[in-house]
């Protein structure tokens, strides 16, 4: 079980969190104008990198905030934990 | 004391505390401090089990967790725990143990015939023989599983046994309480670090207790006692005896299974507790495991590891035999021979593979250098050892074979460091030819390995390494340096061992040479696997099952891979080893389950009205974590009778149902309507204050995910309802979009499900009932029309009333703060008394909604249905983006022949409709038959006086009136059906607007 540092609550056990997938999957800003390929990419395609991976997790049994966790998928080392970026989707 | 093999003095047992126990029903006695294995040996019982595949008689082979043979079922037959190692079970008064994998009895096992047929069942036999024809494997497998096996799981529940779990944190976790471990713990403790020390044995001292050892010129017991006294006294130290550190997990989390102290199943304390320990640093001082010598019939009862024989003697004062042959390739067995001789065991010979002398010499014992035991004689007990001189290559024999009579063969093939936790942490191993063993190759950041576990077999260096590791660990945690005096002791290195992975068969001798005793893998099996191309150690393991027993090959691993290396002519380093994975020792499932069993498996949610349902005699059914009334069996009737009565009451008069379990989400902010626009397929900008609207949510892939009504209470204030099952998921979904996708929206959401009690009042008399309850809400159609809401005082409490209907009847939902729920329920029951107001449960709710043709999430909307499939395509706005809209244009979502929601009625009005049936065109139960749809919900409709169903059928809306068949091969039923519209009552919605 991982020990995940919540940017708001501090280190908490993994059972308090829910995994939300790749942090860099962005919903197209104008979805209706998105190409079929771009939309398909957003809905279905996920990378499965070996090594560093930016992920979103929700502190679901805690503050309910989503956070951005950088995690090594090979060693399971947690590299960084931060609030989700506020930049608008591209 | 009738224990013929108990020595008169010595050992660490309490000899004046005699304990009674039974083994296979035979009454025996032992002493407090015994293990089951030592007590059996004290009684001269060597035959304790039958082997996995060949059903060969097996004895006690070791004195620790590595035991491959002596596995027993502990406890009464119906609640026993199987596959426990007799070498680890602490004896207690009244203990009951049974041998395993034998029938009808241990002494006469009919399946032992497999042993004589052994040339017919080599490695891979089952794969090669029984895989064809492929469909017969299921038939064969039953019999193979029955014949090959270990213990059986018990069928009963041991109500007295509890298991528990706890979490702990420390600076330094020390694994192993022997010389190196205790020294590391003391060093860290004196620096002030928070220390946890765990050892799998009930007593401390590790290998120091297996042999008489002198420390600082005195018996090692003194050092152990004084060290423990200091550790016990310190507040910063937790000592965990009987604690198997079975796994190292991510970020230095360790799993430890801690057994109850006395071993008695009648104690109220948990039988086993799972400790999950997060530590900054770990010092692994887990010792080493002795290796077997692989000679013919090396599995006969009476063949035992030399170190185990020594431990039985020194720990338990038990003589494992009267006359012993010592077979070794290293010095350690000499110490065993010395102790056995001193205790009165006749040492017939020490057979040493080495030519050069050992550092220890024993007077008056025949020493046979350069030779080896090549076979054991005897069947269910050793009667002799066949000894021959080894060629210089170790692979041939020269000279004659001599038979030496004995009842005990003490074998030592060297020692394998216990590197499992190091491997769990990702550490790699290297082969150290000086000690002929695999040892840790690298330093790890947070885990250090010391003592015998690191291949360090010289005692004084174990103490020094323990102290150094302790100092290093506390320094890493920020504590200052400490000084510790390590005891003065033996510092002389042993004569190096002669690697001896297996022994040749003597000319004219037969007999299996077991590499893995538990999995019944022989030298021939390993060689066969190599010949057949299984050249990777991982393939070898899976093909032969080497190391795949519950002991994970603790005694067999290196012998097996070294034999493979020899066969392939590769160095051992090149062959490598299989990956050690947790758990190091088997952990019973109860330990992982802890207290989360039975009704504690998951929390139970009860609505604010739960007591009222109980008083009304409700039968409850789980809905997610909730308990909801399923039906109210007035007068003890069954579910069909009760639910039909309840549904009829709603259609003819008035009923009430607890809908507090529906998810409720409070939504506030200037962008609240915009949020709803983006979440739901339909538009929300036009919803007036005081009105309610039905909404439908999709996933981004365009499939319907949830539905419910949302009410507008004020300009910037909405309350959304979700389905009961999806309440949590919808909340998470909204939070995801608000925090990550649309953080610019000015809106806040909160789950308020638990704050409200909500009662739906439904039926033609519902308005009249509500009007009889005191309050200031106007329930007339003009003031509170369909899809309207009103707020005011109701039954003396603040209430919000929504005029919405799931049943299709005139209906209202009354929401009040949770604590007022029971009072409002009572007021409604009183007001409706003359209408015979009827509480109804989820079964009647189901009938009503099937009659009305409402789909539900999970049945009709099963994650594969679009809004259009469910007949709600026109709800979808074309003027805005919403979650999932972009997917709706994908060709597959608009393809012809998609399954669509329709109704079904049996052609024979009296016929029942099989739930879950497939819809077919051909009246045949025999496949292949094309399936054009499936039944999603069925109900007996009191209103239509017959069975009705909802179904998803390809292009179904265009097929209303067609006849098809509902096919259920599982129940052998085939029913002719007519496709109908999915709404069975009041298709124009006149009732709910009345």
> How many domains are contained in chain A?
1
Write out the two tokens for B151. Answer: 């213990």
Q: B914 and B797: one domain? A: no
Tokens 């919808």 locate to B730
CB B808 within 8 A of CB B991: yes
CATH code of the domain in which B934 resides: 2.40.30.110
The DSSP line for B732-774 is HHHHHIIIII-TTS--EEEE-GGGEEEEEEESTTHHHHHHHS-
For residue A30, list chain B residues with Cβ-Cβ distance below 8 A: 881
d(CA B489, CA B507) in angstroms, rounded, equals 46
CATH number at residue B193: 3.50.50.60
Task: Say if residue B535's pLDDT is above 90.
Answer: no
Distance CA B152, CA B428 (A): 36
User: Exposure pattern of B175-188 as b/e (b: 16+ CB <10 Å)?
Assistant: bbbbbbbbbbbbbb
pLDDT of the residue at B2: 79
Instruction: Report CB contact under 8 Å: A2, B250.
Output: yes
Angle between helices B332-342 and B306-316 (to 10 degrees): 40
Question: How many CB atoms sit inside 10 A of residue B908's CB?
Answer: 12
For residue B885, what is the nearest residue in chain A, using CA coordinates?
A32
- Here the tokens at position B519 are 């999995």
Q: What pLDDT was estimated at residue B509?
A: 79
Mean pLDDT of B933-959: 96
Q: What residues contact B54, with CB distance under 8 A and at least 6 apart?
A: B112, B114, B115, B118, B512, B520
**What is d(CA B691, CA B981) in angstroms, rounded to the nearest whole number?**
29
Cβ–Cβ < 8 Å for B671, B746: yes
In a domain? residue B713: yes
**Residue B1 banded pLDDT, cuts 50, 70, 90:** low
> CA-CA distance, B743 to B125, in Å (whole number)?
63
Kindly give the residue spans of alpha helices, DSSP state H, lying in B502-638. 523-531, 537-544, 557-568, 572-575, 589-593, 610-615
Domain housing A5? 1-24+52-85
The beta-carbon neighbor of A66 closest among B249, B736, B890 is B736
Omega before B84 within 30 of 0, i.e. cis: no
The span from the CA of B634 to the CA of B562, in Å, is 74
Question: What pLDDT is attached to residue A88?
Answer: 44
Measure the CA–CA gap between B685 and B969, rounded to whole angstroms: 50
Q: Do A27 and B736 touch (CB under 8 A)?
A: no
In a domain, A41, yes or no: no
Q: Are residues B204 and B267 in the same domain?
A: yes
Q: Are residues B819 and B678 part of one domain? A: yes
Q: Which residues pair with A54 in a beta bridge?
A: A70
Q: What gap in Å lies between CA B511 and CA B28, rounded to an integer? A: 33
Q: Are B30 and B1 in contact (CB under 8 A)?
A: no
Among B955, B859, B866, B956, CA closest to B904:
B956
- The Cα–Cα gap between B222 and B186 comes to 15
Nearest to A1 among B253, B741, B744 (CB): B253
Residue B938's H or E segment, with its range, is strand B931-941
- The answer to which of B409-418, B486-495, B865-874 has the lowest mean pLDDT is B486-495
- Is it the case that residue B145 has pLDDT exceeding 60? no
pLDDT band at B133 (very low <50, low <70, confident <90, very high): low
**Do B696 and B801 belong to one domain?**
yes
How many CB atoms are closer than 10 A to CB B192?
16
Instruction: Quote the pLDDT of residue B449.
Output: 98
Residue span of the structural domain in which B954 resides: 891-994
pLDDT band at residue B499, thresholds of 50, 70 and 90? very high
Chain A residues lying within 8 Å of B426, measured CB to CB: 75
Residue % of chain B over a pLDDT of 90: 82
Q: Of the candidates B940, B899, B937, B902, which has an alpha carbon nearest to the alpha carbon of residue B916?
A: B937
* Residue B343: Cβ within 10 Å count: 18
pLDDT band at A90 (very low <50, low <70, confident <90, very high): very low
Query: By three-state DSSP, how is residue B625 classified?
Result: coil
Q: For B132-141, B540-549, B866-875, which range has the lowest pLDDT when averaged over its residues? A: B132-141
Any domain includes B105: no
Measured CA to CA, the distance from residue B517 to residue B521 in angstroms comes to 7
Of the residues B459, B476, B493, the one at which a domain ends: B476
Say yes or no: B835 and B716 in one domain.
yes
Angle between helices B672-679 and B727-736 (to 10 degrees): 110
Contact A20 B736 (CB under 8 A): yes
Same domain, B697 and B830: yes
Residue of B165, B250, B280, B738 to mutate, testing the A interface (most A Cβ within 10 Å of its Cβ): B250
Quote the minimal CA–CA distance from A34 to chain B in Å.
8
Residue B773 lies in a domain: yes
Residues 6+ apart with CB under 8 A from B652: B763, B764
Residues B244-288 have pLDDT tens digits of: 999 999 999 999 999 986 666 556 789 899 999 999 999 999 999
Please tell me the distance from the alpha carbon of residue B191 to that of residue B751, in angstroms, as a whole number: 49
Indicate whether B750 and B686 sit together in one domain: yes
For residue A14, the domain's CATH number is 3.30.2270.10
Q: Which residues pair with B489 in a beta bridge?
A: none
Q: Is pLDDT of B347 > 70?
A: yes
R_g over Cα of chain B? 37
Residue B652 resides in a domain:
no
Radius of gyration of chain A, Cα coordinates, nearest whole angstrom: 14
Q: From the candidates B167, B170, B251, B254, which should be mutated to test the interface with A, based on the most A CB atoms within 10 A?
A: B251
- Please tell me the predicted confidence (pLDDT) of residue B669: 98
The separation between CA B596 and the C-alpha centre of its own chain, rounded to angstroms, equals 12
What is the chain A residue with the closest CA to B427? A75
Residue B81 φ then ψ, to 5° = -105, 120
Q: Do A39 and B887 touch (CB under 8 A)?
A: yes
Return the HEC string of B577-616. CCCCCCCCCCCCHHHHHCCCCHHHCCCCECCCCHHHHHHC
Domain count of the fold of chain B: 3
* Number of inter-chain CB pairs under 8 A, A vs B: 53
Could you tell me if B910 and B827 lie in one domain? no
Could you give the maximum distance between any two Cα atoms of chain A, in Å? 42
Res A89: pLDDT: 44
User: How much is the average pLDDT of B83-90?
Assistant: 95
User: Choosing among B275, B445, B447, B740, which should be mutated to test the A contact, i.e. which has the most A CBs within 10 A?
Assistant: B740
The mean per-residue pLDDT over the stretch B184-211 comes to 96
Q: Which of B739, B751, B877, B882 to mutate to test the interface with A (most CBs of A within 10 A)?
A: B739
Q: How confident is the model at residue B121 (pLDDT cuts 50, 70, 90)?
A: low
Report the alpha-carbon distance of residue B429 to residue B431 in Å, rounded: 7
Convert the pLDDT of each residue in B709-723 to its tens digit: 999 999 999 999 999
H/E stretch holding B472 reads: helix B459-476
pLDDT at B518: 94
C-alpha distances out from residue B110 to A2, B69, B106, B146, B450, Å: 50, 19, 10, 13, 48
Cα–Cα distance, B422 to B713 (Å, whole number): 61
Q: What's the average model confidence in pLDDT over B543-572?
A: 92
Q: Residue B127 pLDDT > 80, yes or no?
A: no
The reply to whether residue B736 touches residue A64, judged by beta carbons under 8 angstroms, is no
With beta carbons less than 8 A apart as the criterion, state whether B404 and B417 touch: no
B825 and B897 together in one domain: no
Q: A28: nearest CA in chain B?
A: B741
Assigned domain for B494 exists: no
Per-residue DSSP letter, B250: G
Measured CA to CA, the distance from residue B575 to residue B572 in angstroms comes to 5
Burial of B658 (0-12, 13-18, 19+ CB in 10 A): buried
Query: Are both B714 and B774 inside the same structural domain?
Result: yes
What pLDDT, on the 0 to 100 scale, is given for residue B482?
84
CB B900 within 8 A of CB B869: yes
Strands (E), B690-738: 692-698, 704-714, 717-722
- Residues in CB range of B338: below 8 A, 6 or more apart: B360, B362
* Partners of residue A76 in chain B, C-beta under 8 Å: 250-251
Tokens of B456: 């360090």
Q: Is residue B924 part of a domain?
A: yes
Asked if A52 and A72 count as a contact pair (C-beta separation under 8 A), the reply is yes
Question: What is the rounded end-to-end Cα distance, in angstroms, of chain B?
Answer: 92
Average pLDDT of chain A?
92
Q: Token digits for B440?
A: 């840790």
State the average pLDDT over residues A49-58. 96
Q: Are B330 and B415 in contact (CB under 8 A)?
A: yes
For residue B601, count CB atoms less than 10 angstroms from its CB and return exposed for 0-12, middle for 13-18, buried for 19 or more.
Answer: exposed
pLDDT at B766 over 80: yes
B785 pLDDT exceeds 90?
Answer: yes
Cβ contact A31–B426 (<8 Å): no
Low-confidence winner among B233-242, B379-388, B438-447, B503-512 (lowest mean pLDDT)? B503-512
Report residue B605's pLDDT band, with 50, 70 and 90 as the boundaries: very high
Q: Work out the mean pLDDT of chain B and round it to a whole number.
A: 93
Judgement on whether residues B817 and B940 belong to the same structural domain of the protein? no
For residue B636, what is the enclosing H or E element?
none
Q: What is the ipTM score, two decimals?
A: 0.96
Closest CA to B881 of B694, B646, B702: B702
In DSSP terms, which residues pair with B799 in a beta bridge?
B792
Q: What's the mean pLDDT in B81-108?
A: 89
Mean pLDDT score, B37-61: 94
The pair of three-digit structure tokens given for residue B210, joined into one six-digit string: 């297996």
Look at A58 and B736 and tell me if their CB atoms are within 8 Å. Answer: yes
Q: Which residue has the tokens 């076979």?
A: B375
Interface of B with A (CB under 8 A): 167, 249-251, 253, 276, 278, 426, 700-701, 732, 735-736, 739-741, 743-744, 881, 885-887, 890
**Residues of chain A with C-beta less than 8 angstroms from the C-beta of B887:** 39, 43
How high is the pLDDT of residue B146? 58
β-sheet with A52-58: strand ranges across: A18-22, A52-58, A66-72, A78-82
Residues B811 and B940 both lie in one domain? no
Structure tokens at B687: 């919803």
Residue B671 C-alpha, separation from nearest chain A C-alpha, in angstroms: 17
Whether the bond into B620 is cis, omega within 30 of 0: no
Percent of chain B clearing pLDDT 70 (strictly above): 96
In this structure, is residue B386 part of a structural domain? no
* Phi–psi pair at A17, nearest 5 degrees: -115, 155
Does residue B682 fall inside a structural domain? Answer: yes
Upstream peptide bond of B583 is cis (omega within 30 degrees of 0)? yes
Chain B CA closest to residue A73: B250
pLDDT grade for B435, boundaries at 50, 70 and 90: very high
The tokens describing B507, both together, are 């000319």
Would you say the C-alpha torsion B779, B781, B783, B786 has a positive or negative sign? positive
pLDDT number for residue B137? 59
Chain B CB contacts of A20 under 8 Å are 736
Q: Given its phi and psi angles, is residue A56 left (phi above 0), alpha (psi -120 to 50 degrees) or beta?
A: beta
Q: To the nearest whole angstrom, how far is the Cα of A54 from the nearest Cα of chain B?
A: 14
CA angle B821, B827, B832 (to 5 degrees): 125
Nearest chain B residue to A75 by CA distance is: B250
């Amino acid at each position: 079980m991982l020990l995940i540092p919540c940017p708001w609550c501090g280190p908490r056990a993994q059972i308090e969190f829910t995994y939300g997938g790749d942090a860099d999957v962005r919903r197209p800003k104008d979805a209706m104008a998105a190409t079929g390929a771009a939309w398909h990419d957003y809905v279905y395609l996920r990378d499965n990198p070996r090594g560093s991976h930016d992920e979103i997790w929700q502190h679901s049994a805690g503050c309910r905030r989503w956070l951005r966790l950088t995690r090594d998928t090979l060693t399971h080392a947690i590299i960084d934990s931060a609030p989700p970026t506020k930049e608008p989707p591209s | 004391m009738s224990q013929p093999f108990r020595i008169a003095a010595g050992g660490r047992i309490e000899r004046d505390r005699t304990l009674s126990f039974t083994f296979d029903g035979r009454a025996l006695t032992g002493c407090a401090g015994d293990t089951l294995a030592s007590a059996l040996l004290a009684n001269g019982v060597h035959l304790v089990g039958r082997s996995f595949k060949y059903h060969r008689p097996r004895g006690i082979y070791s004195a620790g967790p590595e035991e491959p043979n002596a596995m027993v079922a502990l406890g009464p037959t119906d609640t026993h725990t199987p596959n426990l190692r007799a070498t680890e079970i602490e004896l207690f008064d009244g203990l009951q143990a049974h041998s395993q994998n034998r029938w009808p009895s241990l002494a006469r096992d009919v399946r032992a015939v497999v042993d004589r047929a052994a040339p017919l069942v080599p490695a891979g036999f089952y794969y090669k023989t029984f895989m064809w024809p492929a469909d017969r494997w299921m038939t064969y497998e039953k019999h193979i599983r029955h014949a090959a096996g270990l213990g059986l799981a018990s069928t009963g529940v041991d109500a007295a046994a509890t298991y528990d779990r706890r979490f702990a944190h420390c600076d330094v976790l020390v694994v192993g309480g022997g010389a190196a471990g205790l020294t590391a713990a003391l060093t860290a403790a004196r620096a002030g670090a928070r220390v946890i020390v765990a050892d799998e044995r009930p007593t401390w001292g590790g290998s120091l207790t297996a042999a008489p050892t002198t420390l600082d010129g005195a018996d090692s017991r003194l050092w152990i006692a004084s060290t423990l006294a200091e550790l016990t006294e310190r507040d910063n130290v937790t000592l965990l005896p009987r604690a198997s550190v079975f796994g190292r997990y991510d970020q230095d989390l360790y799993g430890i299974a801690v057994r109850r102290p006395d071993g008695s199943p009648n104690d109220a304390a948990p039988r086993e507790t799972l400790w999950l320990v997060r530590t900054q640093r770990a010092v692994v001082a887990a010792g080493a495991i002795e290796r077997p010598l692989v000679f013919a019939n090396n599995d006969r009862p009476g063949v035992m590891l030399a170190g185990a024989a020594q431990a039985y003697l020194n720990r338990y004062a038990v003589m494992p035999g009267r006359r012993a042959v010592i077979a070794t390739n290293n010095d350690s067995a000499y110490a065993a021979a010395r102790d056995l001789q001193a205790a009165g065991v006749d040492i017939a010979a020490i057979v040493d593979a080495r030519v050069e002398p050992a550092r220890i010499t024993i007077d008056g014992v025949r020493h046979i250098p350069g030779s080896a035991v090549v076979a054991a004689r005897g069947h269910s007990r050793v009667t002799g050892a066949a000894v021959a001189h080894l060629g210089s290559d170790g692979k041939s024999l020269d000279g004659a074979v001599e038979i030496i009579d004995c009842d005990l063969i003490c074998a030592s093939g060297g020692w394998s460091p216990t590197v499992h936790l190091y491997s769990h942490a990702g550490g790699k191993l290297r082969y150290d030819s000086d000690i002929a063993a695999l040892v840790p190759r690298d330093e790890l950041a947070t885990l250090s390995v010391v003592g015998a576990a690191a291949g360090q077999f010289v005692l004084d260096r174990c103490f020094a390494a323990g102290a150094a590791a302790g100092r290093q660990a506390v320094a890493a945690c920020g504590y200052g340096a400490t000084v510790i005096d390590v005891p003065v002791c033996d510092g002389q290195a042993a004569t190096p061992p002669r690697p001896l992975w297996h022994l040749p068969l003597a000319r004219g001798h037969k007999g299996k040479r077991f590499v893995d005793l538990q999995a019944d893998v022989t030298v021939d099996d390993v060689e066969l696997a190599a010949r057949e191309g299984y050249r990777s150690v991982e393939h070898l393991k899976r093909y032969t099952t080497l190391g795949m027993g519950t002991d994970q090959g603790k005694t067999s691993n290196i012998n097996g891979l070294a034999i493979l290396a020899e066969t392939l002519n590769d160095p051992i380093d090149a062959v490598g080893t299989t990956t050690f994975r947790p758990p190091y020792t088997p952990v019973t499932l109860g330990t992982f389950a802890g207290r989360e069993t039975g009704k504690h498996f998951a929390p139970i949610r009860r609505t604010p009205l739960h007591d009222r349902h109980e008083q009304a005699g409700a039968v409850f059914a789980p809905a997610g974590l909730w308990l909801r009334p399923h039906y109210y069996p007035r007068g003890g009737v069954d579910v069909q009778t009760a639910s039909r009565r309840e549904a009829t009451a709603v259609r003819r008069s008035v009923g009430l149902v607890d809908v507090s379990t529906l998810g409720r989400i409070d939504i506030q902010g200037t962008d609240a309507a915009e949020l709803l626009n983006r979440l739901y397929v339909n538009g929300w900008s036009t919803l007036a204050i005081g009105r309610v609207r039905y909404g439908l949510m999709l996933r981004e892939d365009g499939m319907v995910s949830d539905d419910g009504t949302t009410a507008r209470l004020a300009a910037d204030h909405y309350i959304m309802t979700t389905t009961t099952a999806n309440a949590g998921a919808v909340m998470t979904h909204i939070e995801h979009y608000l925090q990550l996708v649309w953080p610019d929206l000015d809106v806040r959401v909160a789950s308020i499900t638990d704050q409200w009690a909500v009662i739906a009042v439904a039926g033609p008399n519902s308005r009249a009932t509500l009007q009889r309850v005191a309050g200031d809400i106007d329930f007339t159609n003009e003031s509170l029309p369909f899809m309207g809401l009103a707020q005011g005082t109701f039954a003396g409490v603040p209430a919000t009333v929504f005029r919405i209907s799931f049943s299709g009847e005139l209906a209202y939902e009354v929401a009040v703060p949770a604590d007022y729920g029971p009072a409002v329920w009572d007021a409604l029951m009183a007001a409706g008394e003359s209408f015979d107001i009827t509480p109804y449960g989820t079964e009647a709710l189901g009938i009503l909604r099937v009659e009305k043709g409402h789909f539900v999430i999970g049945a009709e909307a099963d994650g594969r249905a679009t809004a259009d499939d469910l007949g709600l395509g026109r709800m979808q706005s074309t003027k805005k983006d919403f979650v999932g809209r972009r997917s709706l244009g994908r060709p597959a979502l608009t393809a012809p022949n998609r399954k669509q929601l329709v109704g079904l009625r049996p052609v024979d009005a009296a016929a029942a409709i099989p739930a879950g049936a497939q819809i077919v065109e051909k009246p045949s139960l025999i496949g292949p038959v094309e399936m054009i749809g499936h039944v999603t919900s069925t109900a007996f409709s009191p209103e239509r006086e017959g069975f009705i169903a909802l179904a998803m059928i390809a292009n179904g809306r265009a097929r209303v009136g067609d006849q098809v068949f509902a096919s259920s091969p599982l129940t052998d039923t085939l029913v002719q059906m007519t496709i109908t519209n999915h709404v069975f009552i009041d298709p124009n919605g006149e009732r709910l607007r009345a």
